[in-house]
Amino acid sequence: MALLLVAGGVSADDTHYRSIPIGAHAIALGGAFTGVADDASAAYFNAAGLALGPTVGIAGGLTINAWERFDLRRAFDQPDGTVDATTKRGRTVPIFVGAAIKLGPKDASGQKKFTLAVSVLEPIFFSGGVFLRSTSEPLALSDTYEVLETDRATWYGFSFASRLNLKQSIGGSIYLSVRKLNHGETGLALDGGTPVPSDPDRFVGTSSAVNTQALGFKAFHFVLRFGWLFRIKPQVQFGLMVQPPGIPLKQTVNALSQGFVNDNRDPTMPGTTQAYFSDEKVDAKLPLPAEIEAGLEYWPAEKVMLALDVSFHGPVRSRQRVEISDPVPVGGLLFDSDTKRRAIGNVAIASDFSIGRRVMIETGFFTDFSSARKIPENPDQYYNPRIHRYGGTLSLRINASGIALAVGSTFIYGKGDAAGVVVDANNLLLEYTRTEARSRIVYLHLTGATRVVEELGDKAARRIKARSEKKEVEEEVPTPDETEPSTGPAEPR
């Protein structure tokens, strides 16, 4: 009996850095407005943008995982029977809330120079699992395997920003990251044996294997994010954000590993049992990589805004997530215990169109490449899925009573590789294989901010109009050659 188990779409995935949209205005623009964010969500994306907001600013975003599908080629390979899979997927409802207040003396533009802000966000929010059943004859000897996982990271932050002059501002944020990751696997495999004629539920000579794994991670990090904004021209703004690797404070895991194998394949020999058990709290590793993000905002016309964002996440070196001394299985068959991540870059572009005084259409396109390790054709261990994703957003924004509300959707499609486990119960063998995978996700989001986007358009319109008027005046002013005195006689006055 050979059974292929694949959990690529079940386990939490921290190899993608744009997998869940967060923020306010940035969500509607597919992440393209993060480097130049100027509402309260700038506390996370680029703290320098806080200096451009109103005296008091509030921003929030709510994202709902409306639909998700994960397809695997050759997901289940069971020549001796059938395999049924029941996927469990919790609704992800990550949040973002930020509030800012300005204080201090006023600058030349009449705005207060300093800004303080607090924010709470959830860059990771996952709940799901899968239950696999390999039906055989007799039914009582069917195999089952269940994987359950929840992963949630919450960041609590404090930010400060200051305007240097009319063109530049700087800012910084410090976050306390609290991540809780729970991973559990339970498997039961039965093979062979002869039923007892007098009792069909009893068997003689049946080999069995049981595996129970439970990991409960808790990780605390300090995260520092520094930002700079520069108004290159009235209609062009550039932003830069730099985040060093997270500073670990405490990382632990409660690791339970228990299992046994009863081998009764040889009827001439007494059955043997190989068992293991370990339950301890040990050090863990859930690192946060470095990040650099640059954004550009451009207003080519009064009612059109274009945005570009480029981000880069640094690599993470190879280390074991669970540092356990006992030579026992840790995490189960479908747990990647290696922290190694590749350096990865992503890009996002977006546009913002005003179709009325209070209504705007926002759309964006972005990449969400995986930082997971490359999966070899014949892996010797389990690997996280490596799926490169592409996404788009479409939103409708309404400005009313000093509040900008937006509702829209984010669509994500990805293709790549995933790792599976091939179990040969007849020979008590286990190996891994590589298979193709596709991912499709639809998010619904609702965002709001007191920073009215219409004001941005009005400001840009005034800048563009002022630039045009200045150009016209320059064209009307006579050149020095035209103002040179004539060599002829002066006309009488």
Report the CATH number at residue 268: 2.40.160.60
Residues contacting residue 242 through CB under 8 Å, at least 6 positions apart: 225, 226, 227, 291, 292
Residue 177, classed as helix, strand or coil, is strand
302 in a structural domain: yes
488 in a structural domain: no
Using a 10 angstrom Cβ sphere, with 0-12 exposed, 13-18 middle and 19 or more buried, the burial of residue 434 is middle
H or E element, residue 366: strand 359-368
Residue 184, classed as helix, strand or coil, is strand
Global pTM value = 0.82
The neighbouring-strand residues paired with 112 are 106
- End-to-end CA gap in the chain: 113
483 in a structural domain: no
Residue 457, classed as helix, strand or coil, is helix
319 in a structural domain: yes
Peptide bond into 197 cis (omega under 30): no
Structural domain boundaries enclosing 449: 2-476
How many structural domains is the chain composed of?
1
Tens place of pLDDT per residue across the chain (493 aa): 344 555 444 555 688 888 666 766 777 788 888 888 877 788 899 999 988 876 677 777 777 776 777 766 654 455 554 455 556 665 556 678 888 898 888 877 778 899 999 999 888 888 888 887 777 777 777 788 888 999 999 999 999 999 999 899 999 999 999 999 999 999 888 877 777 777 777 887 788 888 899 999 999 999 999 999 999 999 999 999 999 999 999 999 999 999 888 887 777 777 788 888 989 999 999 999 999 999 999 999 988 999 999 999 999 999 999 988 777 788 888 889 999 999 999 999 999 898 888 888 999 999 999 999 999 988 888 898 899 999 999 999 887 777 778 888 999 999 999 887 776 655 556 778 888 888 888 888 887 776 534 444 445 444 555 555 455 445 544 544 444 444 443 443 3
Calpha distance 333→143 (Å, rounded): 15
197 in a structural domain: yes
Calpha distance 160→117 (Å, rounded): 6
481 in a structural domain: no
Q: Dig out the tokens for 274 from the structure.
A: 């190989």
Q: Is-contact 204 193, C-beta < 8 A? A: yes
